[in-house]
Each structure stands twice: as C-alpha cells, then as structure tokens.
Amino acid sequence: MTSAGDRAATQPSFYHTKGKYSGILSWILSTDHKRIGIMYLAAILTFFLIGVTLGLMMRINLISPGRFITAKTYNRLFSLHGVIQIFLFIIPGIPASLGNFFLPILIGAKDVAFPRINLMSWWLYMIGGGIVVLSIFTGGGAPDTGWTFYAPYSIRTTTNISLALCGVILLGFSSIFTGLNFITTIHRLRAPGMGYFRMPLFIWSLYATAWTQVLATPVIAITLMLVILERFFAIGFFEPALGGDPLLYEHLFWMYSHPAVYIMILPAMGVVSEIFPTFAKRTVFGYRAIAFSSLAIAFVGYLVWGHHMFTSGMSDFARVIFSLITFMVAVPTGVKVFNWLATLYKGSIQLDSPLLFSLSFIFLFSIAGLTGLTIGSLSLNLYLHGTYFIVGHFHYTMFGGAAFGFFAGIHYWFPKMTGRMFNERAAKTAWFFMFIGFNILYFTMFILGLQGMPRRYFQYLPQFRTNHIISTVGSWILAVGLIIMFGNLIRAIFKGKKAGMNPWGGKTLEWQIPSPPPAENFETIPVIEHGPYKYD
C-alpha cells in the first residue's frame, strides 16, 4: 500500500488538474463529481447558515413577542426558515454534497454515470435557490404560508408565492436528476468484484434515497405547479369556492413530503454506518440487516403520509391504518440502531469528533423516533398535533438526526476532501456546545407542547414564558457551537496540517487514494475481493 501511496502522491489532486476552463469557470462548468460535490457543499452550508439566522431571529422574538419584529414578519420568518432549511439544506444536503463526492470513489468509479446531467442538477439547484431568495425581496414579499404552502391560503395570499414555488419546483427537478444519476451509477459503474453486498453501507442508503427522490419528487413538482396555475388562472382544483378540495392538496403535498423525510434521514444513517466501523476498528454488525432496512424504510415511508393529516379530516378507518403503518417504520429503524450499537460492542473505540457526532446522532434520533411513536398514535396526536411537541419532534429528527449525521460526515471526510486536518480539540468543543445547546433548545419544546403551546404562534400566554426563554438561550449556545465548528473547519482549509491518505484508519476505497483525490480518482480501477469493512 505504501508503494501505491507513493506513486499516487505524484499525481496532482483534482484541485490542481487543469480542465477545459480556468478560474471560476473551471468550477461552475466542471463535470468532475468532486468539484460539483464541493460546490454543492459550499452552497448548501451557506443556505444552512441563512436558515439558522432566520431561526435565531424567531427565537429572539419569542423572548418578548412584538418587541423586535412584527407578527407579519414573524410569519414570513418561519415560512422562509422552513423553505430554506428543508428544500435548500436538508433535502439536497448529504446526497448532493458528500454523495456526489464519495459515491463514485466508494464504488471504485471515475465519475457518476451522467456527469453533464450532474452539472445541470447543480445549476438547477443554484437557480432554484436564487429564485427562492429573490422571492423575499420582490413582488408581494416573502411567502407567509409556512413551508407547506397549504391551500387555499397559498392561493389567496398576496405574498410572493408563485416565484418561491417556481424556485422550489426547479429544486425538485435538481433532486430528481441527482437521484436518477445515482441509481444508474450504482447499477452500472461498480468496480469489478464489487457485488451489491460488497458496497459500503453509505452507498446502500444513497441508493434507497435516490429511488425515493425519483419516485416522490414529481408529485410535489406538479402539485406546486397546480398552485401556481390556481393563482394565475383560478383552475379551482384546491379552491373550495370553485368546486375543488384543499384536502387533496394536503394529500398530494405529504405524498411527497413524507417520503422526503426519508430523503433527509437515510443518507445520514448511511454516513454513520461508515463511521462506526472505522472508529470501532470492527466490521459492521449485521451488514445485510442495515442495507435492507434502508430499503424497508424507503418503502414503508411511502405509505404513511396520512399521519400528517390526522386532524385535517379523514375517515377513522384511514387514520387507524396510517397510524399502524407509521408504527411499522420503527421496526427497520430499530434494526439499524441496534446494529450500530452492536458494531461498537467490544470494538477498540477511538473517540474522535466524527464518532462523537455519530453517537449523538443515535441519541438524538432515538428521542426523535420515540416521540414519533407518541405522535403517531391517534389519540395523542389529536391533542399534540397543533403544538410545539411537533416542532420539537421534527427538529430532533431533522437537525438532531439528519444535520448531526451531516456534520459527522463532514468531519469524517474533511481530510479526504481538503487534504488537511482540522483541530480535533476545537471540533470536540464545538460538538459539546452544539449538543448541549440543541437539547436545551428543542427538548424544552416537548414540554411546551405538552403544556399546550400552539406552534407557529407569534404570541403566547404568560405561563409559557419561562420555557420560551430557556429555549432561546439554548439556541444561542447552539449558535456558539456552530460558529466554533465552521470557524475550525474554515481555518483548517487554509492552515490545517497535512492529513495524509488515511488519517482515521478506514478500510473503504476512498482511504486507499491520496487526499485530496486525483482528478480520475483511481490510477487503475481497483478489483474488489472482499466486503467493505475488513478489519483483522
């Protein structure tokens, strides 16, 4: 391996390989999956920080409603916070950035199956994101419907819904093409010898995610187009005054948006499945169980959208069925959690920052999952549906789950992507602040919810005040953690120590090539002779 490393070290990294273009064009017109991955990562994290800022402003309002911002602004804040964090950060999140960078490398390929479509996806993402941001400053101003764009209010409001929806639709197409690209890549471009059960588990999770992207996203694209048509031509599908039915909108919306939850969480599960074996120095426990549970989650995830609508008006029979299937999601999820824990058992554990983030992923996601069962049961849902309990549950899933998994992945693969190592101590400090701040911020919301605090409200009764203040203080601690984390990583890009080929002692293919990888990834395509996590 040393000799291979020496030879490889003479190859220039993909950052230094001249393509057809130079300067900025060498990035924005590049079809290299690694450059596209890095561009996605930069864009996604930028949008994430915008979304975080909006969230912090909402929390500031809730210390003392009305003192800092008006009710109208508050409605727009929570709508934009949702739209940006969901459609611009967490849905493209891991697959588009880390997935793009590492999918071809992990299966021993030189690029994705359709590199030009890959570049087009990035452009669609940027244009869509740009349009969403533009909608804040033009027309009737930022949308105030919430990220769900529920009809008929989204048809009637004078804010700039149509433009924002155009942006979201473009983001949808970007997502579809990424999914299509990944499925084909995984089927067609695996290195010789890499059977389906020799693929790293991150690839399995990307595979399940890609199918969900492909099979769910068109539904929301057309539904949102119909809302635009409603606004311009009054076609009436979702407008009761014209004979339409707003409930149909909710069904169609959640038919996408529930599977979308799995688009967000599955890749994070894949990331931690890579991290546990590396930091426990053991092969993963229950490889096939983890692989198949990804597919099972993706599949069952299609059938549970109704649990978002228990209070919207549905027959009891439908509600019972939806509730039952919702409980079934817990089974494959539980399978994953126990397999990860069993991987750690008797391992020689190396407690570095990627593992810390992964462990907190399990902890936070378990809380998210268990509260999910609480609100998945009909009787409790009727009481809790309109409250902060949902907000708490949702953020434990998406932030505590998907985003912590994302950060775990960023730390794990940072040396591979940049060739440099961040300061481990700062990373652990950042993790500490984030973990503490996160729990103060969002666990309080469970309590608020049980006490009856309604969600999306600008104002509240005096008895909720203390908890709101605690929650807001938590958001500041979390923000401190984020600042340390991003500061540490950005500093490491320029001043970090050289990382070397394999700083963590990983066994998968990306650790067998130089950091950062050369433009063609592999000098010669590797031949795979065993499973991905072979520790002696």
Partner 1 sequence: MIEPKMDNPDEIAIKERGDYTGAKMGMWIFLFTEVLFFGVLFLLYSVFRSRYALDFHASAKELDIFFGTANTAILLTSSLTMALSIALVRKGKKGLSILCQSVTIVLGIIFLINKYVEWGAHISSGIYPHSALLEQMSRGKVIFFSLYYVMTGLHGLHVLIGICVITGTLVFTAREIINREDFVKLENTGLYWHFVDIIWIYLFPLFYLIT
Using CB under 8 A as the binding rule, whether residue 272 contacts partner 1 is answered as no
Using CB under 8 A as the binding rule, whether residue 166 contacts partner 1 is answered as no
Beta bridge partners of 518: 13
- DSSP conformation class of 424: H
The C-alpha atoms of residue 439 and residue 363 are separated, in whole angstroms, by 11
The C-alpha atoms of residue 59 and residue 461 are separated, in whole angstroms, by 16
Using CB under 8 A as the binding rule, whether residue 257 contacts partner 1 is answered as no
* CA distances, 49 to each of 45, 54, 55, 56, 267 (Å): 6, 9, 10, 10, 21
Q: Cβ of residue 28: shortest distance to partner 1, in angstroms?
A: 20
* CA distances, 430 to each of 388, 411, 478 (Å): 27, 12, 9
- DSSP conformation class of 29: T
Q: Among 74-82, 245-253, 262-270, 277-285, which window interacts with partner 1 (CB under 8 A)? A: 245-253
Q: Which is nearer to partner 1, 121 or 439 (CB)?
A: 121
> Does residue 455 contact residue 311 with C-beta atoms inside 8 Å?
no
> Does residue 478 contact residue 441 with C-beta atoms inside 8 Å?
yes
Q: What type of residue sits at position 92?
A: P
The C-alpha atoms of residue 386 and residue 82 are separated, in whole angstroms, by 17
Q: Which of 346, 257, 260 is nearest to 309 (CA)?
A: 257
The C-alpha atoms of residue 157 and residue 231 are separated, in whole angstroms, by 9
Number of residues that bind partner 1 (CB under 8 A): 47
Using CB under 8 A as the binding rule, whether residue 525 contacts partner 1 is answered as yes
Using CB under 8 A as the binding rule, whether residue 192 contacts partner 1 is answered as yes
Answer for which of 139, 140, 218, 452 binds partner 1 (CB under 8 A) is 218
Answer for which of 75, 97, 223, 360 binds partner 1 (CB under 8 A) is 223
Answer for which of 129, 244, 369, 415 binds partner 1 (CB under 8 A) is 244
Answer for which of 248, 342, 380, 480 binds partner 1 (CB under 8 A) is 248
> Does residue 434 contact residue 485 with C-beta atoms inside 8 Å?
yes
The C-alpha atoms of residue 471 and residue 476 are separated, in whole angstroms, by 9
Using CB under 8 A as the binding rule, whether residue 75 contacts partner 1 is answered as no
> Does residue 301 contact residue 209 with C-beta atoms inside 8 Å?
no
Q: Among 88-96, 217-225, 313-321, 502-510, which window interacts with partner 1 (CB under 8 A)? A: 217-225
The C-alpha atoms of residue 479 and residue 476 are separated, in whole angstroms, by 5
Site string for partner 1, 124-153 (x = CB under 8 A): ------------------------------
Answer for which of 169, 176, 298, 513 binds partner 1 (CB under 8 A) is 176
Q: Which is nearer to partner 1, 115 or 200 (CB)?
A: 115
Q: Which of 212, 359, 371, 190 is nearest to 296 (CA)?
A: 212
* Those residues with Cβ within 8 angstroms of residue 217's Cβ, 6 or more apart along the chain or in another chain: 172, 173, 175, 176, 179, 256, 260
Q: Among 46-54, 156-164, 239-247, 352-360, which window interacts with partner 1 (CB under 8 A)? A: 239-247
Q: Among 53-61, 110-118, 145-153, 200-208, which window interacts with partner 1 (CB under 8 A)? A: 110-118
Residues 277-336 that bind partner 1 (CB under 8 A): none
Q: Cβ of residue 195: shortest distance to partner 1, in angstroms?
A: 5
End-to-end Cα, the chain, rounded Å: 16
Q: Cβ of residue 304: shortest distance to partner 1, in angstroms?
A: 18
Using CB under 8 A as the binding rule, whether residue 110 contacts partner 1 is answered as yes
Using CB under 8 A as the binding rule, whether residue 231 contacts partner 1 is answered as no
Q: Cβ of residue 96: shortest distance to partner 1, in angstroms?
A: 17
Give the HSE-up count for residue 412: Cα atoms under 13 Å, Cβ half-sphere.
33
Using CB under 8 A as the binding rule, whether residue 196 contacts partner 1 is answered as yes
Using CB under 8 A as the binding rule, whether residue 215 contacts partner 1 is answered as yes
Q: Among 63-71, 146-154, 185-193, 293-301, which window interacts with partner 1 (CB under 8 A)? A: 185-193
Q: Among 111-119, 283-291, 324-332, 450-458, which window interacts with partner 1 (CB under 8 A)? A: 111-119
Using CB under 8 A as the binding rule, whether residue 229 contacts partner 1 is answered as yes
Using CB under 8 A as the binding rule, whether residue 234 contacts partner 1 is answered as yes
Q: Which of 48, 19, 91 is nearest to 520 (CA)?
A: 19
Using CB under 8 A as the binding rule, whether residue 193 contacts partner 1 is answered as yes
Q: Which is nearer to partner 1, 235 or 426 (CB)?
A: 235
Q: Cβ of residue 263: shortest distance to partner 1, in angstroms?
A: 14
Q: Cβ of residue 412: shortest distance to partner 1, in angstroms?
A: 26
Using CB under 8 A as the binding rule, whether residue 497 contacts partner 1 is answered as no
Q: Which is nearer to partner 1, 198 or 491 (CB)?
A: 198
Answer for which of 252, 355, 410, 519 binds partner 1 (CB under 8 A) is 252
As a whole number of Å, the CA-based R_g of the chain is 23
The length of the chain is 536
The C-alpha atoms of residue 167 and residue 149 are separated, in whole angstroms, by 13
**Phi, psi (rounded to 5 degrees) for 525:** -65, 125
Using CB under 8 A as the binding rule, whether residue 226 contacts partner 1 is answered as yes
Beta bridge partners of 454: 387
The C-alpha atoms of residue 412 and residue 503 are separated, in whole angstroms, by 10
Per CB under 8 A, residues contacting partner 1 are 108-111, 113-115, 117, 176, 179-181, 183-184, 187-196, 214-219, 221-223, 226, 229, 233-237, 242-245, 248, 252, 525
